[in-house]
Structure 1
Amino acid sequence: MKLAAVGSNCIDYYNNVEGGTAYPGGGPVNMAVYTVRNGGQASYIGPVGDDVYGQIMAEAMTRKGVDTSHLHVLHGHTAVSQVTLVDGERVFGDYDEGVLEQYTLSSEDMDFISTHDVVVCDLWGKVGRFFGQLQQRGVKTAFDCATRPGDAACAEAIPYTDYLFFSSDDGDTETLRELMKVLHRQGPKLVIAMLGEQGSLCFDGQTFHSFGIVPCPNVVDTMGAGDSYIAGFLHGLVDGLPIEACMEKGAATSTETLQYFGAWL
């Protein structure tokens, strides 16, 4: 498994933990770290600012074994998300995207991404519009819609996405299944709904596959749980596992992440 994680990164600033604590994160960055944790290879392609937080982000990814050869340091500040922890659940506050605001992929970035098995981005990553070109180069594409599959950034990427992920708190309902069918008709090979404590659901165009959770002995912080699932699921796909086994691998990766503060240690 060789993952190209592209686009958004941010410092998750926990304002009610130890008087204020900053953790490196952001969906694609998290997925890169979890991929390495699962024994794969991963690169991060995207921008940080030339500030202290940018340095923290770069050094932390390097320590985790993520290839940062295409991490771009731009003049300005690194993205920051304000987070409040309430009974183990993170509540997001203000988000300042900093140097991500005008981010785009260069031709050199595109060439580098094309050397990977899968490229993953999320709805804040600014680069979903490049997915068509990446598919033409033979790279499998994965996109995380978070809780907003109807967002304009998602609509731009979905027709060129092989593996589409989104999160829902509503559980496995007929309404959810109809939405997954609609999304599948737009282009993805697989549509995966992450349902928190209720597990996950995957639609392959013919069959719905469901999987529960891998029990967690001590939930400390849910930050990064969905990103963990995506990393584990994609790793399973590249390894040739059946869909249910990919879902289990995603759930197991998520359970590991639930047991500490921040997206990753």
Structure 2
Amino acid sequence: MKSVAVIGDNCVDFYSHLNRYYLTGNIVDTGMNLAQLGVPTSILTTVADDEYGKEMLQCFKEQGLNISHVKVAHGDTAITYMQLIEKERIHGDYLEGVLEDMVFDSEDVHFAASHNVVHSAYWGKAEGVLQDIKKANPECFISFDFADRLESHLVKELDGIVDIGFFSYREKDEKIMDFLKERMKNGMKVAVATFGENGSLALSENQVYEAGIVKTEVVNTVGAGDSFIAGFLSCYIKSGNIERSLQEGAKLAAYIISIFEPWENKR
């Protein structure tokens, strides 16, 4: 079975008004969901040696992630102070902790490159090694979540490196279509845009694929994008069917936003 390496950050979202937290980070959420979908998944990140970090590492193990390339650093786990207002999460103060000094070395690069797919995200601090991973294994598919940062310098810097790009936008319009076409022209193989309650679409080989959402009772929107990506990638690496991958992404995202956490803790 094809394997995925997720590389990037990890943190804790803490809701002080609820006295509740969960372990998260874009690549953590995507990696946890991939593993639960049965995809062999490795995680490359740096956790702290505090209590949150110990729990993070234990959770990685229990959810079935390969943790052979998780580093442990002395210090504090990154933490985001959150609020939940009308079922929408609101980001507050952020403390970076050990992520401030997180780096990925040549051993990480070669280990990641041994997988079929490597996924990272805008805040993952791993964009600098993606080209090295691609050089180490040109057959490795690079997947990247650009979130809603369509104007970021990373978009053009990663043209020709990222094979599958994910972008968050408000709705299907001429601007996003032109943007995705430009990404394809510059080397991307699959360009995906998600539109929240307005569904999603993907461009590949001059074809446009679209999918709606799966309606659900929303508890917390956290993890919607990361779980969509997990559902999409899991289906895509198994079948290559883009339309079905969009549908599977929507299906998983609908489930995740119906629970409080960005991945289901199956401990």
Note the C-alpha offset of 1:210: 0.9
Structure-1 residue corresponding to 2:14 = 13
Cα distance in structure 2, aligned partners of 1:154 and 1:81: 25
Matches within 5 A, 1:41-190: 41-136=40-135, 137=137, 138-168=139-169, 170-190=170-190
CA distance 1:159–1:98, change in 2 (3 Å): farther
Cα distance in structure 1, aligned partners of 2:200 and 2:93: 29
Query: 1:123-170, CA deviations, whole angstroms, 9 ceiling, x for partnerless residues?
Result: 1111112222222312110000111132234443343000000111x2
Paired amino acid for 1:178: D
Q: CA RMSD in A?
A: 1.5
Cα distance in structure 1, aligned partners of 2:97 and 2:153: 20
Note the C-alpha offset of 1:55: 1.1
Note the C-alpha offset of 1:93: 1.3
Paired amino acid for 2:192: I
Structure-2 residue corresponding to 1:247 = 246
Paired residues in the alignment total 261
Q: Is the 8 A contact 1:158 1:164 kept in 2?
A: no
Q: Is the 8 A contact 1:14 1:22 kept in 2?
A: yes
Instruction: State whether structure 2 residue 190 is matched by structure 1 residue 206.
Output: no
Q: Is the 8 A contact 1:143 1:157 kept in 2?
A: no
**TM-score calculated relative to the size of structure 2:** 0.93
Structure-1 residue corresponding to 2:218 = 219
Cα distance in structure 2, aligned partners of 1:225 and 1:182: 26
Gaps of at least 5 residues in structure 2 are none
Query: 1:81-133, CA deviations, whole angstroms, 9 ceiling, x for partnerless residues?
Result: 12111121111112222222232211211221122111111111111122222
Paired amino acid for 2:28: V
Note the C-alpha offset of 1:205: 4.6
Paired amino acid for 1:247: L
CA distance 1:78–1:152, change in 2 (3 Å): farther
Note the C-alpha offset of 1:80: 1.1
Cα distance in structure 1, aligned partners of 2:155 and 2:206: 23
Gaps of at least 5 residues in structure 1 are none
Paired amino acid for 2:22: Y
Cα distance in structure 2, aligned partners of 1:153 and 1:124: 11
Percent of aligned pairs with the same amino acid:
33
Paired amino acid for 2:167: F
* Secondary structure class of the residue paired with 1:62: helix
CA distance 1:86–1:102, change in 2 (3 Å): same
* Secondary structure class of the residue paired with 2:160: helix
Instruction: State whether structure 2 residue 194 is matched by structure 1 residue 194.
Output: yes
Q: Is the 8 A contact 1:149 1:155 kept in 2?
A: no
Q: Is the 8 A contact 1:128 1:156 kept in 2?
A: no
Cα distance in structure 2, aligned partners of 1:105 and 1:84: 32
Instruction: State whether structure 2 residue 2 is matched by structure 1 residue 22.
Output: no
* Secondary structure class of the residue paired with 2:31: helix
CA distance 1:16–1:183, change in 2 (3 Å): farther
The 10-residue stretch of structure 1 (150-159 or 252-261) with the greater mean CA deviation from structure 2 = 150-159
**TM-score calculated relative to the size of structure 1:** 0.93
